[in-house]
Structure 1
Amino acid sequence: MNAVSTIQRDAASQPQAATPFFSVDDIHSYYGESYIVQGVSFDIAHGEILALLGRNGAGKSSTLRTIARLDSPMLHRGEIWLDGQPLHKLKAFEAARAGVQLVPEDRRIIQGLTVEENLTLAQVSPGMGWDLDRIYGHFPRLAERRRQEGTTLSGGEQQMLAIARALARDLKLLLLDEPYEGLAPVIVQEIETILHEIKELGITTIIVEQNAVAALKLADRAVILDTGEVAFSGTAREVLDNAELRHEYLAI
């Protein structure tokens, strides 16, 4: 047997690394001429929750928006893969149909529609997710307010509606941008309970959150960004146990 055949045989016998369920590979994004995301790479296994952390302006929300394929920021180069599908080749509506659901910081509740109408409208898109009975089972407060206009809900209730709306769609990857922002501590606890239920259901999730400790307690893994680059990638427990790391990059 010649040397080439031996190399080919040995290579074929080596175990192949599993392809991650979701990955970003060296993504670079711009807002206009501002270079925001500067070569970010990470991957997530199916069912994992990843906390994407960093100081204000580190590029966290821009990374989420790049993953969701929104027009701003613009992806300059790099690849984004979800369950074998190249998201970097898709437009925002195509990425949503592929299972990427972003819950934005401003929630984007549709004015003039009731809670139930917001949820029903979300189910119009191909590949319907949770039905209303399942949603109301996990969000009893929304069930109580199903006939109320969505924009008249409290901030915490609007956050619940925004998360429920994402679950009403075909969902493979949930992106949460500042889910605790501006909420009273008692409401934060309610949202945390909902997110722990989502974790138990095995929904792959990326959470961006200034309340880093809360996000880390929920997450399996963590990526810390610093001026658009990855400063740390590891387990959430490593960050919780490393006071020096938290102080340097998260100011906590």
Structure 2
Amino acid sequence: MNQSKPDAPQSFFSCRELNAFYGESYVVQGVSFDIPEGDIVALLGRNGAGKTSTLRAIARAAQPAVSSGEIWLNGQPLHTMKAFEAARVGVQLVCEDRRIIPGVTVEENLILAQIAQPLGWPLEKIYGYFPKLEERRKQEASSLSGGEQQMLALARALARDVKLLLLDEPYEGLAPVIVQEIERMLKEVKSMGITTIIVEQNAVAALKLADHAIIIDTGEIVFTGTAQEVLDNKALREEYLAV
């Protein structure tokens, strides 16, 4: 078996017995799953189920505190890394609050995202996929609409050499027409072979985009399978997703 690191799994992305805590709250409980390269996974569950905590643990954010488990990306042991090191090997987390840098323009947000190596898309390519951002490139980023800020947050991730894209509630608060625009962009991302995990309360929209589905309940995985299996299983959706 060819391995780029000792004990690394063969899957492009692999999470093994991940456990994480906020203080004494046990928020991620023995989570394990694998993702083939270039696939999209919908990570679903009710509010407070542990979805965002799982994303943050994968991205090596300071909170929640990861107490045990292994996380591998393309043979690289993320579980030994800090957040900035995980970003360097291709992990990009787009948070629900979007983390737009205030006081600077749209274009300056993109340039600042490329200060650290390795670089991803050049500005010309970003603007080709996000023409609205090009129209507003000299506008202060914090003055953008919610949908435009979400586009900018996604574009900032693509400005880095992203291999694993983690999206936390990308459709939150957006008008349906903007949701469709974000969906179109995520389909383009998939066509480029970028592996993606999407956490989204709009479960049906996420499932229609995804290849696979993982459902978490009280920090534990209760279902793994294809996205279509969840779309076809009304009882499962009602029990764990309330849809």
Distance 1:36 1:113 in 2: 36
Correspondent of 1:119 among 105, 110, 113: 110
Unaligned runs of 5+ in 1: 1-17
Correspondent of 2:203 among 212, 220, 231: 212
Find the counterpart in structure 2 of residue 137 from structure 1.
Answer: 128
Mapping 1:40-79, distance limit 5 Å: 40-79=31-70
Letter in 2 for 1:27: L
SS of equivalent to 2:98: coil
Find the counterpart in structure 2 of residue 181 from structure 1.
Answer: 172
Letter in 2 for 1:246: R
Give the percent of matched residue pairs that are identical in Structure 1 and Structure 2.
72
What is the CA RMSD across the aligned residues, in angstroms?
Answer: 0.8
Distance 1:115 1:204 in 2: 26
Q: CA deviation at 1:29?
A: 0.2
- Structure 2 residue 28 is matched with structure 1 residue 34: no
Q: CA deviation at 1:198?
A: 1.1
Tell which structure's C-alpha radius of gyration is larger. Answer: 1
Distance 1:85 1:202 in 2: 18
SS of equivalent to 1:76: strand
- Structure 2 residue 155 is matched with structure 1 residue 164: yes
Distance 2:37 2:212 in 1: 12
- The one-character-per-residue Cα deviations of 1:67-109 (angstroms, maximum 9, x if unpaired) are 0000000101000000001000000111111110000000000
Letter in 2 for 1:231: V
Find the counterpart in structure 2 of residue 193 from structure 1.
Answer: 184
- Structure 2 residue 232 is matched with structure 1 residue 241: yes
Letter in 2 for 1:115: V
Letter in 2 for 1:170: D
Letter in 1 for 2:41: L
SS of equivalent to 1:109: coil
Q: CA deviation at 1:205?
A: 0.3
Q: CA deviation at 1:210?
A: 0.2
Q: CA deviation at 1:200?
A: 1.7
- The one-character-per-residue Cα deviations of 1:36-93 (angstroms, maximum 9, x if unpaired) are 0011000100000000000000000000000000000010100000000100000011
Displaced runs of 4 or more, over 4 A: none
Distance 1:109 1:210 in 2: 22
TM-score when normalising by structure 2:
0.95
SS of equivalent to 1:37: strand
Find the counterpart in structure 2 of residue 13 from structure 1.
Answer: none
Distance 2:122 2:48 in 1: 37
Distance 2:109 2:12 in 1: 29
Distance 2:193 2:88 in 1: 20
Letter in 1 for 2:203: A
Find the counterpart in structure 1 of residue 13 from structure 2.
Answer: 22
Find the counterpart in structure 2 of residue 202 from structure 1.
Answer: 193
Unaligned runs of 5+ in 2: 1-8
Letter in 1 for 2:195: T
TM-score when normalising by structure 1:
0.92
SS of equivalent to 2:103: coil
